[in-house]
Structures are given as structure tokens and as C-alpha cells.
A and B are shown apart, each in its own frame.
Chain A
Amino acid sequence: MTGQKKDKRGAMLGLCFAVLLLVLVVVLENTLKPTEMMFTVLKKGAVYSLVAVSMNLLNGFTGLFSLGQAGFMLLGAYTYAILTVPTGVRDSVYYLYGGSSVRFSLQEMFGALFGNSGVGGGVSLVLGVLLALILAGCVAAFFAWLIGLPVLRLKSDYLAIATLGFAEIIRAVFQWDVLGPVTNGANMIKSFPTFTSFNITNAQGVVILRLSTFVPFFVAIVCIAIIVMLINSSYGRAFKAIREDEIAAEAMGINLAKHKQLSFCISAFFAGIGGAMFAMYAANAQAKVFTSAMTYEILLIVVIGGIGSISGSCIATFLYVACSEGWLRFLDTEMVLDNGVQVPFLRNGFRMVVFSVVIMIVVLFFRRGMMGNRELSDLIFRKPGKQKRRAGGGHG
């Protein structure tokens, strides 16, 4: 009973928090200078937090150690990019391959229904991008299903290396010349609608309302909310049972193969949406960005936040992105003190060294990360008895 009550309170809190956050983002963006560093951090943070949460669903809640996230992001990014490049600029984007073999774009298809300018244009843009995002997720989920058939039977580290390998294969396939008319080979796809396309302008082209930070936040919050609801459902409990003990879970009547596959596909779905948003953030889609280093980056974010904690992943993402894009930038520039002494070590690349040392400290000494497997709502509605029991059930 109390648990249910607490869940409800947590949900209400989450909802209020999300709405507040969205309002705050819109207000901030329309009052401050749009070129401010903060907005890059916010946008990237929103995108990464979705991917981190999707990875956490798999690694933290189902206990499947997968390193394929970058591959699924790539699938999502390319699906989105291919489907939304306007037909008018397709020839210039695909100039090396003499035009694209995909001769439509989703937002223009909706444009035919609702009109291409004014409110109709806005509606068709939103619908087109939304559909493209969902399709991006579906493509990633489909490939996850395909690769999951042989791979999900494997145990921990074999699974990790197999999914990592899968991501590398996908990356090679998308750079293949023969697929050039679709994927643009090793070149980037660009000119598709990005976050800035959502800024509302008046007839003269002057921006009235900036929504470019609101959009990634909104999408990420909706997706994360869906994941949270999933985790709190009976499926989520089955995932956690698999994480704790596969054999015991099977004995309790949980279909291991089905639930693992489900978790894998859902994680890939949201990673695909995350990848599509990453393409929107970067304003281009390019296969060589989605390397295994990117997966490691996201994995380390998840670890810092606490494996098995959604809010931990989100907080860690924003901290990580803020540090890497802004706060720790000073470590990369040489600095000379007033008395003419040069500060040692400060040079290009030092930021990342400091970063990796911090990560190693977290991994070695604070193995449970910032939040362990608790959520923000647990911390706010603290119940001493429950707290102690949770802390006891430690897992990686």
C-alpha cells in the first residue's frame, strides 16, 4: 500500500518537475542570448540523457551488458536523416551519387495535406519529424530484434563484445559505396530539419518564439517517462528479476528469451530516437561519429549516475555534458599567472585526462555511482527502513 502511494507521489513529483523544467527552458531561451553556451549543453544533455536512460534500461535494469548503443543511434540518425531531407536539396546533398534514391521527405508529404506555409507548414513539420523519429526508433528496434536472435543467448562479456561488434558492422555497412544513393556513403547527410527549425518565425522571418531547446527536452522527457512507466510495470519487475538471478527468474515463470528480447528492442528503440535527435543536434548524420568510443562515453555516464537509477543517469548526463562542453574547458587552454608563471599541465587534451581520472575514481571507490539504484523520489520521500534494505541489496 505505502509503496503504491509512494509511486503515485513520485509520479506527481516527476510530472511537476518535468512541466517546470519545460517552462523554465522556454523562458530561458527566450530571455537569454540564443548563442549562449548553456543552450548547447542543454540540447546535448537532453539527447544524451535519453540515450543514457535507454542504456540503463538494458544494463542496469535487465542486467544485459550491451555495448551496441552507438550502432542503434547510428541507425536512428540515418533513418531520420534519410526520411527528412527536403526533396529540393536532395541532389546537392547526394551530389556524389547523382541524387538520392529516396525521392520524398516526410514533412513534405504532410505538407501536401496541410499546406507548406504558415500554421499548416508548422503542423506538417511537427508531424513529419515526429513520424521520422518514431520510424527511426522502429528501424533500430527491428535491427535489435534481428541481432538479438543469435546474440542474446550469450552471457555477460560475450554479449558485450558481440553487440560492440554489431555496432562496428553497422558502421561499416553505412559507409559502403554501393549503398551511396541511400546513405550517401562516407559523406554526411545534412540540410534536414534540426532543432532550430522549430523556432516560430513571423512572416518577415524574425523569430518570435524560440523552441529549439524545448523540442529535445520535450521528446526526451516523454521518452524517459515511457521508460519509467515500463520499469514500474510488470515487465519492469520481470526485467529486474532477470537482473538479480536468471535461473530464479526462470523458475518463477518468466520467459527469459522473450523478456530479454523485449528489453533489448525497447532500449534500441529509444537509442534510435536518441540517435535521430543527436543528428538534429549536430545538424548532420555521419557514420564515423558513432564509434565505440561514443558507447563507452554513454556507459561511463550511466556508471557515474548509478547503474539502475533513471534520475541518476539524467543528472550525470547533464553534469558530464556541462563539464565537457563548458566548465572544464579552462583545462584545455594554456594559462599564465600574473607573476608570469605558466600553470603546468594545462594544454589541449588535459580536460579529458582529468575526466578519465575522475571516472576511474568513481568506478573504483564509488562503485554505486551518484545515486546507486535509488531515484530522486526515494531521496525526497525518505523512509529509513526501506533505505537500509535497498542499500543492502548491492549489485554492480
Chain B
Amino acid sequence: MEFAVSILLSGISLGGQLALIAIGYTMVYGILRLINFAHGDLFMVSGLMMIYLVTWIPLYLAIPVVLILAVMLGFCIERVAYRPLRGAPRMSVMISAIGVSYLLQNTATYVTGGQPMNYPSIPFLSDTLVIRIAENFTITTKWVTVVTPVLVVVLVVVLTQLIHHTKIGMAMRAVAKDFEASQLMGIKIDHIISVTFIIGSALAAIGSMLYFSNYPYITPTAGAMPGLKAFVAAVFGGIGSIPGAVIGAFLIGICETVIKGSSWSVFSDAFTFALLIIILAAKPTGLFGEKATDKV
């Protein structure tokens, strides 16, 4: 029982962390129709930035600086690698995304020397928390496990408010619906896309702080897997839908943790992709996705 509850807890926590990455994917895909392969690597790079920054400046400063740097990196990636290809076929943009991901991973390998790096323990998040439910029923976990889902819910509420009740949110929805029509309506597309990347990168940076607090170290390829899983979560929830992405992420997080705890642990990654193939075959639009019709 204790085991089950603690597995469920860490599953929810993992799901929350994936959700933060998945939101970035789903927003970018909703607008650009691009799988931003570099998003997972951005997540890894913000983890590495944290490691290097803590050695120079105190932690309470490092957190906002990491956020700002991650946002700048996300902005630059869009500016340099995706914007010049705006009118190009989708395949070229995707190849560019893979190229950026390759560049980020190789740069990370170069900087770290390929060694796994220890993530600094952030006070409070890394502290142990003992939940006492009954006399002989205690669960020991880290604060981050409890903080993550709460933070995710708060952020999602804020984001949906932003998207549904502000001018920029309205513009985002318009761009996602129809690129050219919204351009004709006077929306600055490049500006909106930049904002999307900024929001996505900031969420990825927050996600990386929460995620790596649970893991002992970062390797240059640490971002690829969570990135792909987050994408699967976004597809599961219906690409373009933020609540969908969050639900998908929680589901994948919980399932994966359960599988990891069982004797089928080799298949923890494979499960996610099997889920993806099943969903794409059965309901390609995902849980909350809108059905797109092809006009000839």
C-alpha cells in the first residue's frame, strides 16, 4: 500500500514535469505546425545552466537568471533556425529542428566533457517530506513531488486565462486557426510566434528545475527522452490543447512510473510510444483536438 501510494505520487510528479514541457510543444505545434525537437534539449540546457550558474552566483539569483537565459535561448532558436524557413516545406523546418537539437546536444557534450553533471539541490524542493497518514502509514518523499502538480495546475489556469482573455491570447488563437487570414487582420505573426516560444521556454526551464531535482545528474542526452514523451502527451491530449496536454502528461507520467516499478521496466519508454501509435491509429486528433479537414 505504501509502495503503491509512493509510486502514484512520483508518477503524478513526473507527469507534472512532463506537462510543463508538453505545454511548450503543444503551443508551438498549434501555431507553427512544427515538432520543435529542440524543446527537449532546451530543457536539458536549462538544467546545465543551473549547474554552472550556482557555482558563480547564489541560488536565489540563479533561478531567475536561468529562466531569463532559457527564454533568450528559445527566442534565439526561433529567430535563427525557424524564422528563415517560414515559407519552406514542413520537412525542411523539421530537419532544421533536428539540426538544432543535434547542435545543442553536441555543444552540451563539449562543455560538460560528456560527464554526467550533478544537479544542485534546491533548498525546499529537495527537502524530504514525511506524510503521516495513519499510525504505521508514512510516506517519505521530496517536497518537489507535492509542489509540482500544484504548480502545474496554477500555471495552466494562468495560461488558459492568458489565452482566452487577453489580446495577445486572442492573437495566438487566431494565428493557430489561420496563418494568412490573421496576417491580413493586422496581427504581427512573427511577434506572436516569438511570444509562444518565450512562454514555452520559460515553462521548460521551470520544468527542468523540478525534473532534475528528482534525478541525481544530467547528461547531454537527458532532454531527448522527456522531450519525446512530452510530445506524445501533447498528441494524446490533442495537439494545440493545453488542458489536453496536461492530462496526457499526467497519464503518461503515472503509467510510466507504474511500469518502472513492475517487472516490465524495460518497456517504460516503449510504452509511451506504443500509446502514441495506438492513439494515432485510433483517434489522430487526440482527446481534445479539433478535427482538421483537408481542402482540395
A residues apposed to B, CB below 8 Å: 59, 63, 65, 147, 150-151, 153-154, 156-158, 160-162, 164-166, 168-169, 171-173, 175-177, 247, 292-293, 296, 299-300, 303, 307, 347-350, 352-353, 355-357, 359-360, 363-364, 367, 395-396
**B266 CB contact (under 8 Å) in A158, A161, A177:** A177
Q: Kindly provide the distance from the CB of B194 to the nearest chain A CB, expressed in whole angstroms.
A: 18
**A151 CB contact (under 8 Å) in B34, B35, B228, B280:** B280
Contact of A360 with B81 at beta-carbon distance under 8 Å, contacts A176-B267, A348-B114, A350-B110 already known: yes
Contact of A353 with B35 at beta-carbon distance under 8 Å, contacts A165-B277, A293-B221 already known: no
Given A307-B91, A364-B84, 9 more A-B residue pairs with CB atoms under 8 Å apart are A150-B277, A154-B284, A157-B90, A161-B35, A162-B276, A169-B270, A300-B102, A356-B103, A396-B90
Contact of A160 with B35 at beta-carbon distance under 8 Å, contacts A172-B269, A364-B96 already known: yes
Q: Kindly provide the distance from the CB of A112 to the nearest chain B CB, expressed in whole angstroms.
A: 37
Q: Is the CB of A352 within 8 A of B270?
A: no
Chain B: CB-nearest residue to A176: B266
Q: Is the CB of A161 within 8 A of B95?
A: no
Contact partners of A171 in chain B: CB under 8 A: 270
Contact of A360 with B99 at beta-carbon distance under 8 Å, contacts A151-B281, A292-B224, A349-B110 already known: yes
Q: Is the CB of A168 within 8 A of B102?
A: no
Contact partners of B94 in chain A: CB under 8 A: 65, 156-157, 160
Q: Kindly provide the distance from the CB of B27 to the nearest chain A CB, expressed in whole angstroms.
A: 15
**A150 CB contact (under 8 Å) in B80, B105, B113, B280:** B280
Chain A CB within 8 A of B106 CB: yes
Contacts of B64-94 to chain A: CB distance below 8 A: 80-81, 84-85, 88-92, 94
Q: Kindly provide the distance from the CB of B293 to the nearest chain A CB, expressed in whole angstroms.
A: 13
Q: Is the CB of B280 within 8 A of A157?
A: no
Q: Is the CB of A359 within 8 A of B99?
A: yes
Contact of A355 with B35 at beta-carbon distance under 8 Å, contacts A154-B284, A165-B277, A247-B296 already known: no
Contact of A356 with B277 at beta-carbon distance under 8 Å, contacts A59-B91, A296-B98, A300-B99 already known: no
Contact partners of B110 in chain A: CB under 8 A: 347-350, 352-353
Residue in B34, B80, B99 whose Cβ sees the most chain A Cβ within 10 Å: B99
Contact of A353 with B96 at beta-carbon distance under 8 Å, contacts A156-B90, A348-B113 already known: no
Q: Kindly provide the distance from the CB of A250 to the nearest chain B CB, expressed in whole angstroms.
A: 10
Q: Is the CB of A162 within 8 A of B35?
A: no
Q: Is the CB of B95 within 8 A of A363?
A: yes
Chain A: CB-nearest residue to B224: A292
Compute how far the CA of A25 lies from the CA of B160 in the bound complex, rounded to whole angstroms. Answer: 64
Q: Kindly provide the distance from the CB of A151 to the nearest chain B CB, expressed in whole angstroms.
A: 7
Chain B: CB-nearest residue to A64: B91
Compute how far the CA of A350 lies from the CA of B114 in the bound complex, rounded to whole angstroms. Answer: 11
Contact of A168 with B273 at beta-carbon distance under 8 Å, contacts A154-B280, A247-B296, A349-B113 already known: yes
Q: Is the CB of B33 within 8 A of A367?
A: no
Chain A: CB-nearest residue to B111: A349
Q: Is the CB of A165 within 8 A of B276?
A: yes
Contact of A349 with B114 at beta-carbon distance under 8 Å, contacts A162-B280, A363-B96 already known: yes
Compute how far the CA of A147 lies from the CA of B274 in the bound complex, rounded to whole angstroms. Answer: 11
Contact partners of A395 in chain B: CB under 8 A: 89
Q: Is the CB of B99 within 8 A of A161?
A: no
Compute how far the CA of A364 lies from the CA of B81 in the bound complex, rounded to whole angstroms. Answer: 7
Chain A: CB-nearest residue to B108: A349
Q: Is the CB of A300 within 8 A of B98?
A: yes
Compute how far the CA of A13 lies from the CA of B101 in the bound complex, rounded to whole angstroms. Answer: 39
Contacts of B120-145 to chain A: CB distance below 8 A: none
**A356 CB contact (under 8 Å) in B102, B270, B296:** B102
Chain A: CB-nearest residue to B109: A349
Chain A: CB-nearest residue to B225: A168
Q: Kindly provide the distance from the CB of B64 to the nearest chain A CB, expressed in whole angstroms.
A: 28
Contacts of B274-293 to chain A: CB distance below 8 A: 274, 276-277, 280-281, 284
**A359 CB contact (under 8 Å) in B102, B267, B273:** B102
Compute how far the CA of A337 lies from the CA of B107 in the bound complex, rounded to whole angstroms. Answer: 25
Chain A CB within 8 A of B245 CB: no
Compute how far the CA of A296 lies from the CA of B106 in the bound complex, rounded to whole angstroms. Answer: 13
Chain A CB within 8 A of B18 CB: no
Can you list 5 residue pairs at the A/B interface with Cβ under 8 Å? A59-B91, A150-B280, A158-B280, A172-B270, A349-B114
Chain B: CB-nearest residue to A396: B89
Q: Kindly provide the distance from the CB of B288 to the nearest chain A CB, expressed in whole angstroms.
A: 17
1/0 per residue, CB under 8 A from A, across B25-59: the answer is 00000000111000000000000000000000000
Compute how far the CA of A339 lies from the CA of B269 in the bound complex, rounded to whole angstroms. Answer: 52
Compute how far the CA of A349 lies from the CA of B105 in the bound complex, rounded to whole angstroms. Answer: 11
Q: Is the CB of A364 within 8 A of B85?
A: yes
Chain A: CB-nearest residue to B98: A296
Chain A CB within 8 A of B235 CB: yes
Contact partners of B92 in chain A: CB under 8 A: 363, 367, 396
Chain A CB within 8 A of B197 CB: no
Q: Is the CB of B103 within 8 A of A396?
A: no
Q: Kindly provide the distance from the CB of B283 to the nearest chain A CB, expressed in whole angstroms.
A: 12
Q: Kindly provide the distance from the CB of B18 to the nearest chain A CB, expressed in whole angstroms.
A: 15
Contact partners of B103 in chain A: CB under 8 A: 353, 356-357, 359-360
Chain B: CB-nearest residue to A149: B281
1/0 per residue, CB under 8 A from A, across B211-222: the answer is 000000000010
Contact partners of A363 in chain B: CB under 8 A: 81, 92, 95-96, 99
Chain A: CB-nearest residue to B35: A157
Compute how far the CA of A12 lies from the CA of B277 in the bound complex, rounded to whole angstroms. Answer: 45
Chain A CB within 8 A of B119 CB: no
Q: Kindly provide the distance from the CB of B71 to the nearest chain A CB, expressed in whole angstroms.
A: 21
Compute how far the CA of A164 lies from the CA of B40 in the bound complex, rounded to whole angstroms. Answer: 15
**B269 CB contact (under 8 Å) in A154, A156, A168, A356:** A168
Residue in A175, A350, A353 whose Cβ sees the most chain B Cβ within 10 Å: A353
Contact of A303 with B95 at beta-carbon distance under 8 Å, contacts A352-B110, A360-B103, A396-B89 already known: yes
